[in-house]
Amino acid sequence: MDYDGLIIGGGACGLMCAAQAGLLGKRTLLLEKNDKVGAKILISGGGRCNYTNLHTDIHNFVSENPDFLHAAFSKWTVDDTIQFFKSFGNIIGEEKTLGQLFPRSNKAKDIVAVFTKLMFETQQDVWLNAEVKAIDQDGGAYVVTLMHEGRERRIVSKKVVIASGGLPVAKLGASDFALRTARKFDIRIVDTAPALVPLTITGKDANWYASLAGNAVFSRVSNKHITFEENILFTHWGLSGPAILQLSSYWRAGELFTINLLPHRDMNTLIKEERAAGGKRTVSQLLQMHFTKKMVEALGKFLPIDLKIASLSKADAKLIWETIHHFEVKPAGDKGYDKAEVMRGGIATDELDAKTLESKKFKGLYFGGEAVDVTGWLGGFNFQWAWASGYAIAQDL
């Protein structure tokens, strides 16, 4: 069979690429190492799949060059995503929070079903349990070596799409194949690291965080690059929750960040108001108007929570303000690729044509999705990139 392209990886990007190629009357062969396609889509968003974000903008992405995204996002917009799933799968999107769109059915498998149906109808071939081991150049074509049904096979194609994703979650099929191939072809890679990942705390503070495990606090977390306002979640090993996951994409080992535990009130004002009312309440009572009892007890490690507001010194009030609004955290590390939602870094965007995602050095070799140095925020942005890059590549096959 003479294919218009071989697609390595049956995740979000590879599936969209195959489906769009099919709609254009092209034939592709998709190679997936798992025994099913779309493993990550199926578990995404807690099995509900947050498949795009209504407010998608290049500022929602971490990349050496976010402007790179303009080309793909102008060809494939959020509206295109919504219309695509509506037209081919009757999927109606429902916004949960902050622009995050989920299928109204709350079933990620409905998203995957759109692709399997379209690929069947447009006669795209899919080989499951097909793990690609290597790509080699042979004249104007590529030889793809894979293991399929227990034996080694070689397929030759002029166009090969690497949509094999990033490093997070090995048990869902993640591999370093894209990075390995880039190294082999001397294609530059931006340093990779787990992103959208919980952060760990060790040492003398570890027990304090662990004592609060399960408590969520609406907070503003900031470092020198960015600020996010959402829940943080205390865990037995440190911090998680949406605000922490978002910040983790901008955090580097050894760095500090701060948490404003009460972003919409000012402790100085609250203390002043309480003083004006007689100052009979204790710090603990005042804090319990804004935090859980458990949290206030834990804050007692740092604050004079049994003192009456009327008897607070200037220094006490300053300490309270700093602890609540400028709580410093120095994580020991992150929970690693098995707990990360995405990989930061990847194939450098300046190695790729922004319109087609074809390698500038190797004609016919394409990289899409998470393998590329484009990392979205939490909230459906990563899928929007995977769909858009898959679409862009399909146009060029």
Ligand X SMILES: Cc1cc2nc3c(=O)[nH]c(=O)nc-3n(C[C@H](O)[C@H](O)[C@H](O)COP(=O)(O)OP(=O)(O)OC[C@H]3O[C@@H](n4cnc5c(N)ncnc54)[C@H](O)[C@@H]3O)c2cc1C
Interface contacts to ligand X, rule CB under 6 A = 8-14, 31-34, 39-40, 43-45, 49-50, 131-132, 163-165, 168-169, 173, 175, 177, 341-342, 369-370, 380-383, 386
**Of 194, 200, 195, nearest in space to 237 by CA:** 200
Nearer to ligand X, 291 or 383 (CB): 383
d(CA 162, CA 151): 21
Q: Which helix (H) or strand (E) holds 333?
A: strand 333-334
Least distance from ligand X to the Cβ atom of residue 146, Å: 7
CB of 208 to ligand X, least distance (A): 28
CB 386 within 8 A of CB 368: yes
Residue nearer to ligand X on the CB measure, 235 or 382: 382
Residue closer to ligand X, measured from CB, 309 or 342: 342
* Nearer of residues 46 and 278 to ligand X, judged by Cβ: 46
User: Strand, coil or helix: what is 393?
Assistant: helix
| Closest separation in Å from C-beta 64 to ligand X | 18
End-to-end Cα separation, the chain, in angstroms: 16
* For ligand X, the closer CB: 283 or 378: 378
- Taking the complex as a whole, how short is the minimal distance between the CB of residue 50 and ligand X, in angstroms? 3
Half-sphere exposure of 40 (CA within 13 A, CB side): 32
| DSSP letter assigned to residue 158 | S
Minimum distance between the CB of residue 58 and ligand X, rounded to whole angstroms?
A: 15
Measured from the Cβ of residue 319, the count of other Cβ atoms closer than 10 Å reads 15
Q: Could you give the 3-state DSSP secondary structure of residue 125?
A: strand
d(CA 57, CA 73): 9
301 closest CA partner among 213, 223, 230, 204: 204
Helix (H) or strand (E) holding 41: helix 39-47
Of 49 and 287, nearer to ligand X (C-beta) is 49
Shortest Å distance, C-beta 10 to ligand X: 5
Give the distance between the most distant pair of CA atoms in the chain: 86
In the complex, minimum distance from the CB of residue 39 to ligand X, in angstroms, rounded to a whole number: 5
Cβ distance to ligand X smaller for residue 335 or 355: 335
CB of 371 to ligand X, least distance (A): 6
For ligand X, which is the closer residue by CB, 33 or 159?
33
Contact 91, 111 (CB under 8 A): yes
CB 13 → ligand X: shortest distance, Å?
3
Task: Name which of 161 and 261 has its Cβ closer to ligand X.
Answer: 161
Cα 62 from Cα 39, distance rounded (Å):
24
User: Cβ(179)–Cβ(192) under 8 Å?
Assistant: yes
Residue at shortest CB range from ligand X: 11
Q: What is the DSSP string of 214-270?
A: T-EEEEEEE-SS-EEEEEEEE-SSEEESHHHHHHHTT--TT--EEEESSTTS-HHHH
